[in-house]
Amino acid sequence: MDFTLPLLLPREKMLQYGITSLTDAELLALFLRTGTPGKSVFVLSQELLQHFGSLYGLLTAELPEFKHVEGIGVAKYAQLKGIAELARRYHSVRMLEDNPLLSPEMTRDFLQSQLSDAEREIFMVIFLDNQNRVLKHSRLFSGTLSHVEVHPREIVREAIKVNAAAVILAHNHPSGCAKPSQADKEITERIIKCCQFMDIRVLDHLVIGRGEYVSFAEHGWI
């Protein structure tokens, strides 16, 4: 397949127009830096995105999935996994060090970076002060491919330790479908009731799938 080269190299385009002007392929090329014999890094980037369908598909792929992908060995695979891990750590640090008032978009981006590619169900809690600033975030419970056991009293206990006034709940569905189950709704109600005794607000419960999410608050369930 014939791919058209960009008019400006990714680094030049970034310096002239800003980092957000780069396409996914150009941004990927900026990280990979080099192509393969007879193939530029930009062409390689385009082929990788086409093969895996998206940046998400590419950055969550494991080494065996690159077996038949020309131009990707262990070194470039390590680069790709490094990009994904760097993004995950960036979101994690930003939540604590920037200490902004939490926005729905920031919450969603953070939780997706932490949970969307987990192979088991993980239940996370973000603890906030009375101005909705992040005090702490923690993976409190982990389970199997399709189930995680959650103990509401443990959530309240952790909230009291950090003097939290509110919490945001989240867990992932490794199947990829973010639709909440009846069990998800029931445990949310139990947590809300348990938190109410200590005057702790439950602001939201987000279910994270692969490339999708469901917010209880957005649906009016909280």
Digit-coded pLDDT (tens) for 76-93: 889 888 888 888 788 777
Q: For residue 2, is pLDDT > 60?
A: no
Q: Which helix (H) or strand (E) holds 193?
A: helix 182-196
Across-strand partners of 213? Answer: 208
Can you give the pTM of this predicted structure? Answer: 0.66
pLDDT reading at 32 higher than 80: yes
Give the burial string for 94-117 (b: 16+ CB within 10 Å, else e): bbeeeeeebeeebbbebbbbbbbb
Average pLDDT value over all residues in the chain:
88
Q: What is the reported pLDDT for 101?
A: 53
pLDDT tens digits for 124-177?
999 999 988 889 999 999 988 878 999 999 999 999 999 999 999 999 999 989
Of 195, 85, 204, 92, nearest to 137 (Cα)? 92
pLDDT (tens digit, 9 = 90+) per residue, 52-80? 888 888 888 889 998 888 878 888 889 88
Question: CB atoms < 10 A from the CB of 170, how many?
Answer: 26
- pLDDT for residue 200: 97
pLDDT at 95 (0 to 100) = 66
Which pLDDT does position 159 carry in this prediction? 97
Cα 77 to the center of its chain, rounded Å: 20
Residue-wise DSSP of 22-44: S-HHHHHHHHH---BTTB-HHHH
Which three-class secondary structure state does DSSP give residue 74?
helix
The predicted structure's pLDDT at residue 5: 54
Q: For position 21, what pLDDT does the model report? A: 87
Across 143-156, b (16+ Cβ under 10 Å) vs e yields eeeeebebebeebb
Instruction: Give the least confident one: 34-48, 122-136, 172-186.
Output: 34-48
For residue 75, how many C-alpha atoms fall within 13 Å in the half-sphere facing its CB? 7
How large is the average pLDDT for residues 184-206? 96
Q: What is the pLDDT of residue 133?
A: 87
- Of 47-56, 162-171, 178-187, least confident by mean pLDDT is 47-56
